[in-house]
C-alpha cells in the first residue's frame, strides 16, 4: 500500500514506524510532507521514506493519505489539497476534534476515515476508535484496520458521535490513569516510602491490575470484589475513596471531557 503522511508529531511517527516494522507498508512506498528542511532529512534518514515540502506531491498516486497536522493548520492544508485527490484515494485523519464534514468540505473529497487514537499507541498498546464516510470502500476500511492495528486495539463504529465519547474515555483516559498513579506515588511517599519504591509499586500495581482486567477473563467488578475481604485493608481503603466521591469524580471528568470534545468539534 502506498501511503502519504501530511504532518508529523508523536502519533504519526508511531504509526509510520510501527507500520513499516510490521510490514504493513514498505518504506519506499511512503511519502511524508514536512515543511521544515531539517525535519525532512531526519524522517528520510530514520525511516528510509521519501519526504517532500509539497503536500500535493506527497499525495500523488498514493492509496491512503494520513492527515496528522494540528487542527489549526488544517485550513491551510485543505487549501493545498482541495480537488487534488481522486476517487480511489482515502483520507485517514488523526486530527483531534475535526469532524468528518469539515474534512470532506475542506478537501472536496468524500472518502474520509476519522480516528481517535490515544497515547499508548506509541508503544503498540493504544486504543483507536474510528469511523468512515459511506463512500469509503471495504478495501480501504480493511487497510485502515490493519494500519491502526499496529498501534494496538482498534474499534470501528458506524456513528461519528461515538468518537466524542471515545475522546472522553480512551483519548483522555491515559491522563486520568497517570493522575491516579501520581496520587498513589505521593500517598506511598507520605507514609515514609522511598520515592523509587513508591514509584515502582504504584506503576507495577496499575500495570498488573490492568493486565489482569484485560487478560483475566473476569469483570472488573468481580476482580475488585475478589481482592476486597470484608473488614480488611482494601475494604477500608475503598470505603475512604467512595466517601470522597471517587466514582463521581471519574464520571465528572468523563462528562467534562465529552462536553469539551463536542464543543471543539462543533457538536459533531
Residues 73 and 100 in one domain: yes
Q: Does residue 266 register a pLDDT over 80?
A: no
The answer to the question of residue 249 being in a domain is yes
Q: What percent of the chain stands above pLDDT 70?
A: 99
pLDDT (mean) for 137-156 = 96
pLDDT (mean) for 193-218 = 96
Q: Which of 139, 160, 181 is the last residue of a domain?
A: 160
The answer to the question of residue 104 being in a domain is yes
CATH number of 258's domain: 1.10.3730.10
CA atoms within 13 A on the CB side of 194: 3
Residue 46's H or E segment, with its range, is helix 37-47
The answer to the question of residue 128 being in a domain is yes
- State the average pLDDT for the chain: 95
The answer to the question of residue 254 being in a domain is yes
Please give the tally of structural domains in the chain. Answer: 2
Question: What residue numbers bound the domain in which 195 lies?
Answer: 173-264
Q: Are 242 and 235 in contact (CB under 8 A)?
A: no
The answer to the question of residue 248 being in a domain is yes
pLDDT at 73: 92
The answer to the question of residue 165 being in a domain is no
The answer to the question of residue 167 being in a domain is no
Question: What is the CB neighbour count within 10 angstroms for residue 205?
Answer: 13
What's the whole-model pTM score?
0.91
Q: Which of 138, 160, 182 is the last residue of a domain?
A: 160
Q: Are 135 and 110 in contact (CB under 8 A)?
A: yes
Residues 37 and 69 in one domain: yes
The answer to the question of residue 210 being in a domain is yes
Residue with cell 501511503: 3
Residues 78 and 211 in one domain: no
Per-residue model confidence as pLDDT tens digits over 154-189: 999 999 999 999 999 999 999 999 999 999 999 999
CATH number of 66's domain: 3.40.50.720
Amino acid at each position: 500500500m502506498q501511503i502519504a503522511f501530511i504532518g508529523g508529531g508523536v502519533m504519526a511517527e508511531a504509526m509510520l514506524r510501527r507500520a513499516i516494522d510490521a510490514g504493513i507498508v514498505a518504506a519506499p512506498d511512503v511519502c511524508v510532507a514536512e515543511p521544515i528542511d531539517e525535519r525532512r532529512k531526519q524522517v528520510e534518514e530514520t525511516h528510509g521514506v521519501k519526504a517532500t515540502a509539497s503536500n500535493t506531491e506527497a499525495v500523488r498516486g498514493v492509496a491512503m493519505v494520513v492527515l496528522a497536522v494540528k487542527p489549526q493548520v488544517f485550513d491551510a492544508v485543505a487549501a493545498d489539497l482541495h480537488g487534488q485527490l481522486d476517487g480511489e484515494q482515502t483520507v485517514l485523519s488523526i486530527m483531534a476534534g475535526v469532524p468528518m464534514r469539515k474534512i470532506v468540505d475542506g478537501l472536496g473529497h468524500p472518502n474520509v476515515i476519522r480516528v481517535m487514537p490515544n497515547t499508548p499507541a506509541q508503544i503498540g498498546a493504544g486504543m483507536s476508535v474510528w469511523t468512515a464516510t459511506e463512500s469509503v470502500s471495504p478495501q480501504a476500511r480493511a487497510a485502515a484496520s490493519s494500519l491502526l492495528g499496529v498501534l494496538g486495539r482498534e474499534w470501528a463504529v458506524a456513528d461519528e458521535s461515538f468518537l466524542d465519547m471515545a475522546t472522553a474515555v480512551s483519548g483522555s483516559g491515559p491522563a486520568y490513569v497517570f493522575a491516579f498513579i501520581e496520587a498513589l506515588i505521593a500517598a506511598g511517599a507520605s507514609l515514609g516510602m522511598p520515592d523509587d519504591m513508591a514509584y515502582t509499586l504504584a506503576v507495577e500495581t496499575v500495570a498488573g491490575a490492568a493486565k489482569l482486567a484485560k487478560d483475566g477473563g473476569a469483570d472488573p467488578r468481580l476482580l475488585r470484589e475478589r481482592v476486597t475481604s470484608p473488614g480488611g485493608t482494601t475494604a477500608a481503603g475503598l470505603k475512604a475513596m467512595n466517601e470522597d466521591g471517587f466514582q463521581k469524580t471519574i464520571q465528572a471528568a468523563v462528562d467534562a471531557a465529552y462536553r469539551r470534545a463536542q464543543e471543539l468539534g462543533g457538536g459533531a
